[in-house]
Amino acid sequence: MNTIKTRGIVLKTQEYKENDKLLWIFTEEFGKVSVIAKGARKSKNRNFSNTLPFSFGEYVLYKGRTLYTLNEGRIIDSFQDILNDYDTLIYGSYFNELIDIAIEEGESHPIFIDLVKCFYLMRNKAIDLDLLARAFEVKVLKATGYGISLENCALCGNKINTADYISFQFYGGICNQCEKQYGTKVSAATYNGLKFLSKVELEKVGRLNLDMNTKEQIGKILETFISLNYRKKPNSLSLLKKF
């Protein structure tokens, strides 16, 4: 069977030849795939609107030798309203970029549902986008094998309630009996915040109340894990820091 049908989100697109588009779609069943959509840059083409960035839909793809070809797509939610607001545009781009960087081609991941959730949660502005991003980062790290150990010392494995140090080398909290190196000192609030984020469902992220310093420290720790473990550093969020 060379034809597959799967739900997916368009992570990014690129113009190709005169009227075609290259798409990177994060699919529910086949992970990230590269797809060519013939003629999709023409507004009258049937695949024009389901190939826009952020589109969430059901796609029928034909597997070629190097690329998939888009046969047809049915939009479930275009999420184009995300593009109309500066903050949701930046965060939405960041979520897509993080998936693009962290997930290899062809790997299926339960994190797909979390990405969809992020888009729905962003739309109803009731959520703190920063916290949503941090919780999503923790989930992406975990889904790709870089989960942070917070219930047990990352070195000796003893159970811990809290710790004042997180190791980047051993991926987690370090107890007072173990050597603290290749990491960073953290406050109790930061440690507890990370613990909460690693367990919470994305829709309940709003229950966490953090002061600015703690938020910043958690952001820096996750940014370090991300830049140490993936082949490329995401840069969408750096656009926010300019303001």
Residue 113 in contact with Zn ion, rule: CB under 5 A: no
Residue 153 in contact with Zn ion, rule: CB under 5 A: yes
173/234 with CB nearer Zn ion: 173
Q: Which 159-178 residues touch Zn ion, going by CB under 5 A?
A: 175, 178
8/183 with CB nearer Zn ion: 183
153/202 with CB nearer Zn ion: 153
Residue 228 in contact with Zn ion, rule: CB under 5 A: no
Residue 202 in contact with Zn ion, rule: CB under 5 A: no
12/180 with CB nearer Zn ion: 180
152/224 with CB nearer Zn ion: 152
Residue 131 in contact with Zn ion, rule: CB under 5 A: no
Residue 35 in contact with Zn ion, rule: CB under 5 A: no
* Selected range binding Zn ion among 117-125, 139-147, 148-156, 193-201, rule: CB under 5 A: 148-156
3-state secondary structure the chain: CCEEEEEEEEEEEEEECCCEEEEEEEECCCEEEEEEECCCCCCCCCCCHHHCCCCEEEEEEEECCCCEEEEEEEEEECCHHHHHCHHHHHHHHHHHHHHHHHCCECCCCCHHHHHHHHHHHHHCCCCCHHHHHHHHHHHHHHHCCCCCECCECCCCCCECCCCCEEECCCCEECCCCCCCCCEEECCHHHHHHHHHHHHCCHHHHHHCCCCHHHHHHHHHHHHHHHHHHCCCCCCCCHHHHCC
Q: Which 50-109 residues touch Zn ion, going by CB under 5 A?
A: none
Residue 150 in contact with Zn ion, rule: CB under 5 A: no
- Interacting residues toward Zn ion by CB under 5 A: 153, 155-156, 175, 178
